[in-house]
Structure 1
Amino acid sequence: MDEKALSQLLKQVKGGQVSVDDAVGRLKDLPFAELGYATVDTHRSLRFGFPEVVLGGPKTVEQLLGIVGTLVERKQTVLVTRLQQEKAEALLARFPKGEYHPVARIFHIKQGKRKAGRVAVVTAGTSDIPVAEEAALTAEAMGAEVRRVYDVGVAGIHRLLRRREEIQDCHAAVVVAGMEGALPGVVGGLVGIPVVAVPTSVGYGANMQGVSALLTMVNSCASNVAVVNIDNGFGGGFYATLISRTKGRR
């Protein structure tokens, strides 16, 4: 239940269309729903503007069906991340309105209309696209208009310069890079918007599964760059979309 649904319910009680007992029944598990193996935070959409997001990889199919079913019953948007193909197929069989995006490993059921600002999702290379798509699809699920700017890394910086204005026109940017991780600092120096840097584990030995990219990003001299964890496209997309809701002027 989100703020709009709660307001509608209270108006229906006030107008006599819904009884007090019925309203109590709908609200009794508003803070959370106990499933035994999970305590689903059904209140998060109301206080946060977006429902609880489900990390799919470690969960069983039965657990996922129960958690997703709980959110669907309450007409909440469903976003399941890091989901394997076979588990996605089980969810699609039960919830055919859902969509599975194999590159990003995201399962999504849209509920209602959400509105956020514009978010640019930028990658250094094509190999970074799976993490970038996780960010982009998360932002779109939250209502953002996403502009994808892919394969514009520092090895060919002219590719980035050609699209600088497109990034600048957004309210926030998610910049995804592996290898040495230099791209977010470069983007941060070119545009006057918040930049959320996402290091990826793409790279060779000294990349250390993304640690070298992470260290480069946290040491950026561009003061508008903040960093999330390695391969955390979801976190980057989520945070950038929260920023975009303010639609601040630059």
Structure 2
Amino acid sequence: MPIEDLVSRLSSEVSQQLSPVTLDLNREARCGFPEAVFGEGKSLAVIREIVQTLLEAEQAVLVTRIDEEQAEGLQETFPRGRYNELARTFRIAVESGPESGAVVTGRVAVITAGTTDRHVAEESCETLQWMGIETTLIQDVGVAGPHRLPERLGEIHGADAVIVVAGLEGALPSVVGGYVDCPVIGVPSSVGYGASFGGVTALLAMLNSCSANVTVVNIDAGFKAGYVAGLIASRKHRAAHS
């Protein structure tokens, strides 16, 4: 792209200045989905203003990493919003937004090694649902009980991408990768103690996976895994129906 065209395009981007943030209202046009809001560290007043601005722009809302006090305030102001306490997310659908329900844009399976990994998996699921992606949650199929995963493969096959959340030694993504023909996104969780080092051991194990279809996001990064998997699923769906 010529530099003049790039400058012109960037100059035409739409943003909204809300002290102390600048909201990117053109992200859906560029990237396919609106800007998500990281709630941790933001005041309730700032989050409310951001959410209201997104709704006025007819964009679906996803706020991540919020605490109970923030959630109560948001639900009071926006009663039709959905708060997931385990995921620490708050989202609101709009009729013209990506999760309006008019079209299913692909499917992603979200798998946990143990039930204590569920909070990370729930953040992925909420992100995928905000994106309008069909989601299948499969829990507690870690490698300590090797018979459990094969029993659930029928629910996994046909997914456009698979998210696998695991703490401790982080072995499950490699095992899942050997069963499926789609990208596997490993999410190391901070579940564990001692030499698990808050998820670092699982992260390094996943980075060294011998399964060629496994890639990795940051520790406890349920949103990032969900967003990347959602992009894969939505692009595959569009290609299949174009």
Do both proteins adopt the same fold according to a TM-score greater than 0.5, normalized to the shorter chain? yes
Figure out how many residues of one structure are paired with residues of the other and give that number: 222
| Contact 1:29/1:42 (<8 A) preserved | no
Corresponding residue SS for 2:144: helix
Aligned to 1:151: 140
**Cα drift, residue 73 of structure 1:** 0.9
| Alignment gaps of 5+ in structure 2 | 1-10, 99-103
Whole-angstrom distance in 2 between the partners of 1:42 and 1:141:
16
Report runs of 4+ in structure 1 exceeding 3 Å deviation: none
Distance 1:166 1:157 in 2: 17
Provide structure 1 residue ranges, at least 5 long, that are not aligned to the other structure: 1-27
Shift of 1:65: 1.0
Counterpart check, 1:163 vs 2:152: yes
Whether 1:175 aligns to 2:158 is no
Letter matched to residue 17 of structure 2: E
| Partner of residue 111, structure 2 | 122
AA aligned to 1:206 is A
Once the two structures are superposed, the pairs formed by residues 59-208 of structure 1 within 5 Å of their partners are 59-112=42-95, 114=98, 115-208=104-197
Q: 1:36 offset after TM fit, Å?
A: 2.4
CA positional deviation for 1:30: 5.7
Instruction: Give secondary structure in 2 for the equivalent of 1:156.
Output: coil
**Is contact 1:51-1:76 (8 Å) kept?**
yes
What's the counterpart of residue 7 of structure 2?
none
Q: TM-score, normalised by structure 2?
A: 0.88
Is the 1:139–1:241 Cα contact (8 Å) retained in structure 2?
yes
Q: Aligned partners of 1:102, 1:238: CA distance in 2, in Å?
A: 19
2:32 partner amino acid: G
Secondary structure of 1:34 counterpart? strand
Which amino acid in structure 1 is aligned with residue 26 of structure 2? H
Structure 2: distance between partners of 1:47 and 1:106: 24
Q: Judge conservation of contact 1:84–1:105 (CA < 8 Å) in 2.
A: yes
1:224 paired residue among 202, 206, 213: 213
Q: What is the root-mean-square deviation in Å for CA atoms of aligned residues?
A: 1.5
Partners of 1:81 and 1:116 lie apart in 2 by 22
State how 1:17-28 maps to structure 2 within 5 Å. none
TM, length-normalised to structure 1: 0.86
Q: Deviations over 1:69-103 (max 9, x none)?
A: 11011111000001101111111111111111100
Task: Tell me how far apart the structure 1 counterparts of residues 53 and 13 of structure 2 sit (CA, whole Å).
Answer: 12
Match of 1:236 in 2: 225
Partners of 1:58 and 1:190 lie apart in 2 by 40
